[in-house]
Amino acid sequence: MRLLILAVGQGRGSPENGLVEDYVGRARAMGKRLGFASVVVEEVAVSKLREARARVAEEGERLAAKIPQGAHVVLLDSRGKGMTSESFAEMLGAIRDAGARDMAFVIGGPDGLDMGPAVKAGRSLAFGIQTWPHMLARAMLAEQIYRAMTILSGHPYHRA
């Protein structure tokens, strides 16, 4: 199964992006043995439209265009459901084992996220009730994907 992190905004050059690249690299290396063919980060540009609703809609369209047909979609949203690392790993393993080809994690821009009616999310995920900077949420997601793989493989990185 391919894992995609789809996000609004450019991370290049930021300290958080260094974390993202580190954890994605680790996840790629470990994931191949676990049935995760790849872990990829794709970015779309922040909309330059004046009105917030229009910006969110345009960014949502750009993100939706990057989601592979039939992918299991997880939206990162502060109103989503929190999960333990173990539950997150179990979810990844179950979706992989069910035969999904792709799983897309979607992170919106500064004004929010609206995927429109064309995209049906399988779930919404929150990293607590706080609002996190989008680049930090991206780094946290990359770390949790790597952690999930260590849990699935029995690697000692994850210790309760």
Instruction: Residue 72: give the domain boundaries.
Output: 2-153
57 in a domain, yes or no? yes
The vertex-79 CA angle with 77 and 58, nearest 5°, equals: 40
132 in a domain, yes or no? yes
Instruction: Please tell me the distance from the alpha carbon of residue 96 to that of residue 141, in angstroms, as a whole number.
Output: 18
**Per-chain mean pLDDT for the chain:** 92
Q: What is the pTM of this model?
A: 0.93
Reply yes or no on whether the pLDDT at 145 is more than 60. yes
36 in a domain, yes or no? yes
Instruction: Please tell me the distance from the alpha carbon of residue 92 to that of residue 105, in angstroms, as a whole number.
Output: 11
160 in a domain, yes or no? no
Question: Which residue in 138, 153, 128 sits closest to 24, CA to CA?
Answer: 138
Q: Looking at residue 129, what is its pLDDT?
A: 84
Query: Over the stretch 31-86, which tens digit does the pLDDT of each residue have?
Result: 999 999 999 999 999 999 999 999 999 999 999 999 999 999 999 988 889 999 99
Q: Looking at residue 122, what is its pLDDT?
A: 81
Question: Which residue in 42, 58, 59 sits closest to 4, CA to CA?
Answer: 42
Interior/surface letters 16-43, b for 16+ CB within 10 angstroms, e for the rest: bbebbeebbebbbebbeebebeebebeb
CATH number for 89: 3.40.1280.10
Mean pLDDT of all residues in 100-110: 94
40 in a domain, yes or no? yes
Residue 47: half-sphere exposure toward Cβ, Cα within 13 Å: 21
Tell me the two tokens of residue 54. Answer: 């229009």
Mean pLDDT of all residues in 11-38: 94
Mean pLDDT of all residues in 101-122: 86
Q: What's the DSSP call for residue 2?
A: E
As a whole-number percent, the residues of the chain with pLDDT over 90 amount to: 73
Q: Looking at residue 17, what is its pLDDT?
A: 93
Radius of gyration from C-alpha coordinates of the chain? 15
Q: Looking at residue 160, what is its pLDDT?
A: 57
